[in-house]
Amino acid sequence: MPYELRKGQKAVNISVLCSGSGTNLQAIIDSVRSGYIPAKIALVVSDRKDAFALERAKKAGVETLVLNPKDFRSREDFDKEVVKNLRARNVGLVVLAGFMRLLSPYFIREYRNKIMNIHPALLPSFKGTCGIKDALEYGVKVTGPTVHFVDEELDHGPIILQRAVEIKEDDTPETLLERVHAEEHRIYPEAIKLFVEGRLKIEGRRVRII
């Protein structure tokens, strides 16, 4: 569905980087299609050729690019190829959605304050790849997803949005994951919308919504 840009608003091309099933990518595709996010998904990049996210992109008519890390000498060389492809499509926002690779300092420099990530726990708690399981095992009563800007440290950059999810007595990693994911699919499109509308202002560690 077409959308109208507000006066003075510049169109933003976004790129989504994925390694897995791509449920967040799907939520973003749906939000662009409905006009909720006034942007274009210019490219979906994956480091795994079997990522289901690629099927979702193709079905939506979004261009895809698969790069095999084994074909590159270093992390930076891989990232240089990604950045080259993003620049060629005039990408102004990079969205990490289950992308299972650390970005090099080169990538972060090139897209400083223009890379977002979603983490399935309330940062700074439970960083790393097991945010759901770690929260459950620790025994916290509330957890939930965090959308943040990416900087040189893992799961560390300024926080854009968070949403609380209560942990129930009988939760398993699977039931909790389902509820956290449902919130992810709401707050990621919301954060992207705020960015492309120019409404996020970074002040040190704080992100103000203007």
Q: Looking at 56-199, which runs of residues are DSSP E strands?
A: 64-66, 91-96, 115-119, 142-143, 146-149, 159-162, 165-166
Residue 19: name the closest of 57, 59, 49 by CA: 49
Q: How far is the CB of 149 from ligand GRF (least distance, A)?
A: 14
Of the candidates 15, 22, 110, 135, which one interacts with ligand GRF according to CB under 6 A?
22
Would you count residue 44 as binding ligand GRF (CB under 6 A)? no
Contact 96/21 with Cβ under 8 angstroms?
no
Q: Which stretch in 15-23, 77-85, 147-155, 201-209 sits in contact with ligand GRF by CB under 6 A?
A: 15-23
Residue 123: name the closest of 205, 9, 46 by CA: 205
Helix (H, G, I), strand (E, B), or coil: what is residue 119? strand
Q: How far is the CB of 181 from ligand GRF (least distance, A)?
A: 6
Residue 181 among the catalytic residues: no
Residue with smaller CB distance to ligand GRF, 43 or 118: 118
Q: Measure CA of the first residue to CA of the last residue in the chain; give whole Å.
A: 26
Would you count residue 184 as binding ligand GRF (CB under 6 A)? yes
Would you count residue 136 as binding ligand GRF (CB under 6 A)? no
Q: How far is the CB of 120 from ligand GRF (least distance, A)?
A: 4
Q: Read off the amino acid at residue 59.
A: K
Of 144-163, binders to ligand GRF (CB under 6 A) are 145
Q: How far is the CB of 188 from ligand GRF (least distance, A)?
A: 8
Would you count residue 97 as binding ligand GRF (CB under 6 A)? yes
Q: Which residues contact 55 (CB under 8 A, 6 or more apart)?
A: none
- CA dist list (Å): 156 to 115, 153, 200, 206: 12, 5, 17, 12
Would you count residue 21 as binding ligand GRF (CB under 6 A)? yes
* Interface residues toward ligand GRF, by CB under 6 A: 18, 20-24, 97-98, 118-120, 145, 184
